[in-house]
């Protein structure tokens, strides 16, 4: 658990997007990491200076295609590729590599669920069996020994951290959960799409993929596992004008004598001692700007005017705890480092 010692030689596949940039932001200063390989298909041949001028001068390797990549001197890869592509790439990787995958490809224990939501048969069902779902605070044990980590989606991270303990404790009605999530734009990636242009996003908000966002399935998988039976949730994502951040406002009905105070207490106990998941005190309202740039998840619990209901607010930075930060947290755990190593930044406000 030291900051000194042999470095892990790391490659990043798909380094030119926003999660790639965020992996690099942390990894260039990570005391136990040496970045030895960067791939980016469309931008192969470019230097990092051209793709990410903010990282110029860090001495990073040139971008190459995956075909050109030399994996012999790589220990672990972070994979930040699109879904479907990921499966094809990962199944061909040399077996000595440990893989931390940020795509959706290995998140579903049931490959049929994957096929249903992603529209095609899973191409690496055998690998799926090995994959560990990397929601660190919930799956810590399995992560330590994993060779393939499926880093959770951003929305599921924001929803499962508060909800799993409450489904387990039996304090909320399992079939009456409404999750209204608001996300910054980087969650949509760096692809040049009209709907993500500045002028289409600034100064407005709208829901999207109502009742059919793929993260619904991932949230339901996590809650169903906690409940021991299938759970269906209402999950409605919204796109809003900010670079980073997710706020999930979650509406629950209480049962078995639970109160807003009791569920706050349940969460406080569950996450006592955690470096990155914090349950705030009564009347403190979590805001996305309080976690910006950090690996934190803040959770607040509030009584509702409607009797027997409670409101939970959960905030993360979608690029950090919702993607690259949690990926490194899992990486740290896989390699026996302190989970906080290299990602213990204080939030950047404003």
What residues are labeled active site?
Answer: 154
Please, are residues 185 and 201 in contact by the beta-carbon 8 Å criterion? yes
Pairing of strands 246-253, 178-183: antiparallel
Cα–Cα distance, 204 to 206 (Å, whole number): 7
Q: Does 268 bind a copy of itself (CB under 8 A)?
A: no
Q: Does 186 bind a copy of itself (CB under 8 A)?
A: yes
* HEC string for 63-100: EECCCCCCCCCCCEEEECCCCCHHHHHHHHCCCCCEEE
Least spacing, CB of residue 312 vs a copy of itself, in Å: 10
CA 19 to chain centre: 10
Q: Which is nearer to a copy of itself, 111 or 178 (by Cβ)?
A: 178
- Starting from the edge strand earliest in sequence, which strands make up the sheet with 148-150, in order? 63-64, 33-39, 8-13, 76-79, 98-101, 148-150, 132-133
Q: Which of residues 5-64 bind a copy of itself (CB under 8 A)?
A: 18, 21, 24-25, 28-29, 49, 52-58
Helix (H, G, I), strand (E, B) or coil at 188: helix
Q: Does 272 bind a copy of itself (CB under 8 A)?
A: no
Cα–Cα distance, 214 to 270 (Å, whole number): 28
Least spacing, CB of residue 279 vs a copy of itself, in Å: 11
Q: Segment contacting a copy of itself (CB under 8 A): 63-71, 151-159, 273-281, 326-334? A: 273-281
Q: Which of residues 235-264 bind a copy of itself (CB under 8 A)?
A: 235-236, 238, 240-245, 247, 249, 251
Residues touching a copy of itself: how many (CB under 8 A)?
89
Q: Which is nearer to a copy of itself, 180 or 265 (by Cβ)?
A: 180
Please, are residues 60 and 38 in contact by the beta-carbon 8 Å criterion? yes
Q: Does 287 bind a copy of itself (CB under 8 A)?
A: yes
One of 116, 208, 230, 255 touching a copy of itself (CB under 8 A): 208
Q: Does 182 bind a copy of itself (CB under 8 A)?
A: yes
């Amino acid at each position: 658990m030291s900051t000194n010692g042999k470095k892990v030689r790391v490659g990043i596949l798909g380094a030119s997007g926003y999660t790639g940039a965020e992996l690099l932001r942390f990894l260039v200063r990570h005391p136990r990491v040496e970045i030895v390989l960067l791939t980016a298909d469309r931008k192969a041949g470019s230097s990092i200076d051209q793709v990410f001028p903010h990282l110029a001068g860090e001495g990073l390797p040139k971008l190459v295609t995956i075909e050109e990549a030399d994996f012999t001197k790589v220990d672990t890869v972070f994979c930040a590729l699109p879904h479907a592509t990921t499966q094809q790439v990962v199944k061909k990787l040399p077996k000595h590599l440990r893989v931390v995958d940020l795509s959706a490809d290995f998140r579903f224990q049931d490959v049929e669920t994957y096929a249903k939501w992603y529209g095609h048969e899973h191409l690496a069902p055998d690998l799926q069996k090995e994959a560990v779902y990397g929601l660190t605070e919930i799956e810590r044990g399995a992560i330590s020994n994993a060779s393939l980590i499926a880093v959770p989606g951003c929305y599921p991270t924001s929803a499962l951290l508060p909800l799993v303990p409450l489904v387990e404790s039996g304090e909320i009605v399992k079939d009456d959960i409404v999750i209204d999530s608001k996300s910054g734009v980087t969650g949509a990636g760096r692809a040049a799409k009209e709907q993500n242009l500045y002028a289409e996003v600034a100064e407005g908000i709208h829901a999207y993929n109502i009742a059919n966002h793929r993260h619904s399935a991932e949230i339901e998988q996590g809650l169903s596992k906690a409940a021991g039976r299938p759970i269906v949730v209402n999950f409605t994502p919204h796109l809003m004008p900010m670079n980073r951040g997710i706020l999930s406002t979650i509406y629950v009905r209480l049962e078995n004598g639970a109160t807003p105070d009791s569920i706050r207490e349940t969460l406080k106990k569950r996450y006592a001692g955690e470096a990155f998941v914090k349950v705030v005190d009564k009347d403190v309202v979590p805001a996305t700007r309080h976690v910006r740039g950090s690996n934190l998840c803040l959770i607040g619990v509030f009584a509702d005017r409607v009797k027997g209901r409670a409101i939970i607010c959960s905030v993360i930075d979608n690029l950090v705890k919702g993607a690259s930060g949690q990926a490194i947290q899992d990486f740290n755990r896989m390699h026996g480092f302190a989970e906080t190593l290299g990602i213990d930044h204080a939030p950047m406000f404003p």
